[in-house]
Amino acid sequence: MSAGFKLLIDGRLVDGATEFDVINPATGVSFAKCPKADIAQLNEAVAAAKSAFRAWSTTSIETRAEKVSSLATALEARAEEFAKLLTSEQGKPFNQAMQEVMGGVSILSAFSRARLDDKIIRENVDATIIEHRTPLGVVAAITPWNFPLALLMNKIGPALVAGNAVVAKPAPTTPLTTLLFAALANEILPAGVLNVICDENDLGAALTAHPDVRKVSFTGSTATGKKVMGAAADTIKRVTLELGGNDAAIILDDVDVAAVAAKVFQSAMANAGQICVATKRVYVPSSLYNEFCNALATIADSVVVGNGLQDGVQMGPLQNQKQYDKVCAIIHESASLGEVIAGGEPLKRDGYFVPPTIVRNIPDDAALVREEQFGPVLPILAYDDLDELIDRVNASAYGLGGSIWSGDVQRAIGVAKRIDSGTVWVNQFLAMDPDIPFRGSKQSGIGAELGEEGLFEYTQPHIINALTVSA
């Protein structure tokens, strides 16, 4: 096995039952082997977590927080090594990979400062009523391939501080940074508190249905999220589902076109568009439509696309062959329904490279507008009436994020309040912080990550309702 990546089960770094290739999306060629767990190893991992939970959940929160803080310190100390591996498996440019790693450090650090104090609901001469929170037990943490490390930290940070034990399962095309983190964590955490298993999309169903898993924290597509919710039903597992989105950027008629177009472009094309809260459709007043489309096309033409480990590269490849094929098919269909004004053809080289592609004059019912493209292709749509536009935006089954752009912040906030999404940014994009809860509306998810609510998701609240007079 090239870099000796191992599963982590019960404090032991072990081989899988078999192994599979991990492809570098910038070359299309395998660069490492990943150990693949079988059902027996999945069951061992859950049993190890269940057993470790007994002691871990009774240590003080300060002790657990100290361990999570040590994870942050250890990750930061090896940030460049993690970032390089992240670029190799995920494709994003090295500087963006560093941002993801350091984002993971700050998430762990933030949760290491979190505490779960009892909440006094009522206290008077007659009664004391307290809300007290305890950890749940074994948490399954399932992650996708677009931010494999940061999204894992969103789950591990709060789950461990709250006193849970975790079985993590990364996406099969980006398992390596999770395995590197597992080896690092094994030096810090007691055996069984964190277990990591890998699969080829074949163990998720068994993990989410496992009777000893009390909670599933899942980030991924809405289609898989529905399966997770179904699998959780039998034992009424707690679920946090962070799912897909089709975020709209709404441009109001008072903007500085050049400045706003540059920011909207970044909001759509960072990580080659593979962000749950990327801008996936842009709505521009008819009066500014041509100017805005031209500005976006000019920026698109200037982007340096290539291997993220090379200096000066601004956009990497799509992460995997399946996503590349999907995005190419959407571009192909869009070219027949609208007008492609930048990009449009995959690069003729090895790897999964698609240049930033801008499409105008495309109907609302095109797949590019209705579905989550999850790639560097952006539809620009015109509007005349703001009320009608809000109905068009809210007609989506998704409700994850979105943004409003205006010279008048109060006006923009008024529009933002009418968008049925978990988060709406005004005059900025992708502004996430460990202390701001993040959640989806409609089919974009259930439950929150980050913030105090993101910690509460890993706890069971108990009401203690005591009469003050003695029995």
* Residues with catalytic roles: 242, 276
Q: Give the Cα separation of 170 and 179 in Å (integer).
A: 9
The 10 Å Cβ neighbour count of residue 10 is 16
Q: Give the closest residue to 366 by CA, choosing from 378, 353, 348, 351.
A: 378
| Part of the chain binding ligand NAD (CB under 6 A), chosen from 179-187, 217-225, 332-340, 361-369 | 217-225
Q: Give the Cα separation of 374 and 50 in Å (integer).
A: 36
Residue 459 interacting with ligand NAD (CB under 6 A): no
Residue 143 interacting with ligand NAD (CB under 6 A): yes
Output the smallest distance, CB 228 to ligand NAD, in A: 5
Side-chain-side CA neighbours of 60 within 13 Å: the count stands at 3
Residue 92 interacting with ligand NAD (CB under 6 A): no
Q: Which of 192, 244, 285, 343 binds ligand NAD (CB under 6 A)?
A: 244
Residue type, 88: S
Q: Give the Cα separation of 87 and 94 in Å (integer).
A: 6
Q: Which of 107, 197, 381, 400 binds ligand NAD (CB under 6 A)?
A: 400
**Any idea what DSSP says for residue 272?**
G
| Part of the chain binding ligand NAD (CB under 6 A), chosen from 22-30, 144-152, 324-332, 376-384 | 144-152
Residue 100 interacting with ligand NAD (CB under 6 A): no
Would you say 159 or 341 has its CB closer to ligand NAD? 159
Q: Give the closest residue to 377 by CA, choosing from 400, 392, 402, 355.
A: 355
Residue 228 interacting with ligand NAD (CB under 6 A): yes
For ligand NAD, which residue has the nearest CB? 204
Residue 171 interacting with ligand NAD (CB under 6 A): yes
Would you say 171 or 455 has its CB closer to ligand NAD? 171
Name the H helices within 26-175.
39-56, 61-77, 79-90, 94-112, 148-162
Q: Give the Cα separation of 58 and 48 in Å (integer).
A: 16
Applying CB under 6 A, what is the total number of residues that bind ligand NAD?
30
Q: Show contacts with ligand NAD in window 331-360 (CB under 6 A).
A: none
Side-chain-side CA neighbours of 28 within 13 Å: the count stands at 10
> Under 8 Å CB-to-CB from 413, ≥6 apart: which residues?
404, 426
Q: Which of 110, 152, 243, 448 binds ligand NAD (CB under 6 A)?
A: 243
Q: Give the Cα separation of 166 and 181 in Å (integer).
A: 14
Q: Which of 98, 101, 107, 142 binds ligand NAD (CB under 6 A)?
A: 142
Q: Which of 169, 214, 215, 360 binds ligand NAD (CB under 6 A)?
A: 169
Q: Give the Cα separation of 90 and 275 in Å (integer).
A: 12
Residue 235 interacting with ligand NAD (CB under 6 A): no
Would you say 207 or 261 has its CB closer to ligand NAD? 207
Output the smallest distance, CB 362 to ligand NAD, in A: 21
The 10 Å Cβ neighbour count of residue 233 is 11
Q: Which of 44, 247, 372, 457 binds ligand NAD (CB under 6 A)?
A: 372
Residue 374 interacting with ligand NAD (CB under 6 A): yes
Residues that bind ligand NAD (CB under 6 A): 142-146, 151, 169-172, 201, 204-205, 208, 219-221, 224, 227-228, 242-245, 276, 372, 374, 400, 440, 445
